[in-house]
Amino acid sequence: MTGKTGKVLVTYGTTNGSTAQIAEAIAEVLRKDGLTVEALPARSVTSVSPYDAVVVGGGLYAGRWHKDARRFVRRHHRGLAERPLWLFSSGPLDASAAERDIPPVPGVRKAMTELDANEHVTFGGCLEEVRRDGWPG
In the chain the domains, ranked by start, together with CATH numbers, are 7-123 (3.40.50.360)
Reported confidence tier of residue 31, pLDDT bands at 50, 70, 90: very high
How much is the pTM? 0.82
Contacts 24+ apart (CB under 8 A), 98-104: 98/124
Phi, psi of 72 (to 5 degrees): -60, -45
Express as a percent the part of the chain with pLDDT over 70.
Answer: 79
Q: What is the pLDDT of residue 25?
A: 94
Write the pLDDT tens digit of every residue in 62-108: 888 999 999 999 999 999 999 999 999 987 554 444 455 677 888 88
